[in-house]
Amino acid sequence: MTEYRSQVEDAFPELSEIESDSLRAKVRKAWVLALERGGWRDIHDIPYAWNIHETSNVEHVRGVVRIAVDSARQQRDFHGADPDLDVIRAACLLHDVGKCYEYVEYVDEDLTADPNLEYATDEIPHSLSGYALAHEVGCPLAVQRAIPHFIGEIPTRTLEAELVKSANSASSNAITQATMGITLKEWVAKYSQTTK
């Protein structure tokens, strides 16, 4: 567990920017649980997508945090909005933690060791398993509600949830363009109908 804790802290320096010690600990705990259950040897081996391994999930998550926090600051400074930066950082850091479960079967077996098959499956979308992990470790409801990022998963969207969702789309578009030469919308259209 100590090794996973160190991996999480090293991979996500943005954790230190969460002002609440309690929330920071809960985000870290969710990642540690997900890594343990997924059986991952190294947090950097989790791919961004089941078929895009050139970019790691860590890189994507960090990009989402940066984009969302920058957007929140613009909303505050330019429009006078008051988004909660702790909620945004925590939800961004957790929005794809569920990939620790979902992508186990899409990587070489030597990248994982004894995944817990009760959790490590692609049957539940990563945004929902991430929501469940955040709930399990006791993250505030505001963080939990900002994690599911696909349309229709949560009926009421907060300002923080919208920032997470739009930052995720921005980062995802950059990654699909850089790695495959297509937009996220084109990636979804092409691969959502195929079996992984």
**Amino acid identity, position 48:** Y
User: How much is the pLDDT for 130?
Assistant: 95
The answer to whether domain 2-191 has CATH 1.10.3210 is yes
> Taking a C-beta distance cutoff of 8 angstroms, is the pair 99, 111 a contact?
no
User: How much is the pLDDT for 193?
Assistant: 62
User: How much is the pLDDT for 171?
Assistant: 96
User: How much is the pLDDT for 192?
Assistant: 78
Phi/psi for 155 (5° steps) reads -70, -35
- How far is Cα 100 from Cα 73, in angstroms, rounded to an integer? 30
> Taking a C-beta distance cutoff of 8 angstroms, is the pair 34, 4 a contact?
no
**Domain spans of the chain?**
2-191
Token digits for 171?
């980062």
3-state DSSP assignment of residue 15: helix
**DSSP-derived secondary structure for 94-119:** HTTTTHHHHTGGGS-GGGBSS--TTT
User: How much is the pLDDT for 149?
Assistant: 72
Instruction: Give the up-direction half-sphere exposure of residue 85: CA atoms within 13 A in the CB hemisphere.
Output: 17
Q: What share of the chain is helix, strand, coil (3-state, %, to 5)?
A: 65, 5, 30
User: How much is the pLDDT for 94?
Assistant: 98
- Kindly give the confidence (pLDDT) of every residue in the chain, 196 residues in length, as a single tens digit, with 9 standing for 90 and above: 569 999 999 999 999 999 999 999 999 999 999 999 999 999 999 999 999 999 999 999 999 999 999 999 999 999 999 999 999 999 999 999 999 999 999 999 999 999 999 999 999 999 999 999 999 999 999 999 999 876 556 657 899 999 999 999 999 999 999 999 999 999 989 987 655 5
- How far is Cα 13 from Cα 71, in angstroms, rounded to an integer? 19
